[in-house]
Each structure stands twice: as C-alpha cells, then as structure tokens.
Amino acid sequence: MNLEEVEVLFDREQVMARVKELGQQITQDYQGKNLLVVGILKGAFIFMADLVREIDLPLEIDFMDVSSYGVSTVSSGEVRIIKDLDYSIREKDVLIIEDIVDTGLTLKYIKDILTKRHPRSIRICCLLDKPSRRKADIAPEYVGFVIPDKFIVGYGLDYAEQYRNYPAVCVLKPSVYEK
C-alpha cells in the first residue's frame, strides 16, 4: 500500500484492543444463547475473523454477500444479494457483523430479510459507524469506532477491491478516487 494515499485513523493496536473489548462484551451478552454470527462479505471478513476469536462461546458462522457500491465511493441505494446464507436462522440468536454502517440502507435491507426468517433475536456489530450519513432507522448494538464522514479503507474495507489487506483503519485521500 502506498502510505502517501492514506491517513491512519486507527492503527493496528487500537483496532485489536477494541476488537478484544467487543468480543468480551458479546461473550457476556450471549451466555447461554444459540449464537449465529453472520458476516457481511467482503468487507467484514477480517474484522469477523478477529472478533470470533475473541468471543469465548460456542457459535456458528455463516456469510452473506450483498452489494450497494460497485466501484463507487458512494452507495447506490440499490441492494443486490450476491450470496445468501447457507443455513436456517430460525430460533437462533443472530449477530450480523458489518465492516461499516454508513447510510444504513443496506443493513436495514439485510435485517428486514433476516427478520422474516424467524430468528430468536438479531443484533448488529460493526467495526465503524458513520451516523452523520444515516438515511435508514438502524443503530448497531455493538460499535467499534464512530468515525467522521470520510472514505475509509484498510482492515477489510476497500476502494475498487484495493487496500483491504492494510492492518489499520485509514482515510483514503480524495486525490486517489477523484482522478
């Protein structure tokens, strides 16, 4: 990664410390429950992998892949399901893992679809929350960091499929995507 293209918002140590705290809180909140962790691909995969290792409970894992961005920096508002869940969520306590909650439109769409499948409960855990851009009435129960209205990459988040592997959460400089 070209470090001249990004500004570090949260370094690897800050991210890992917060992931550990979230894992401890989720462990406490889900004691004795039938936990199914649902990762939203592709952005949440790194966060989810680190988070589930910090949750000290039996759990199941599944994934959904949805898209509302394409190669843009702004959500199109149109949500497409690319990969649905492999298993039933009926009577399970579902924890949706998302990389970033921006407008909330995609996440509300996902939550509405999953609610119709009769889980015992649905909660949301996101690494990053950008409430200043919210258009849907949705609020994650677990939030890693609240961030300003900037375009974020790293730790699973991308711009045109680049930057996901960077271990920190970074602001992508506008000069990169305004070319």
List residues with catalytic annotation: 102
List the beta bridge partners of residue 100.
Answer: 128
All residues at 6 or more sequence positions from 69 whose CB lies less than 8 Å from its CB, including other chains: 75, 76
Q: In the chain, how long is the greatest CA-to-CA distance?
A: 52
All residues at 6 or more sequence positions from 14 whose CB lies less than 8 Å from its CB, including other chains: none
Alpha carbon 126 to its chain's center:
4
3-state secondary structure at position 39? strand
DSSP state of 173: P
Quickly count: other Cβ atoms within 10 Å of residue 94's Cβ: 23
The number of helix segments (H) and strand segments (E) in the chain equals 4, 9
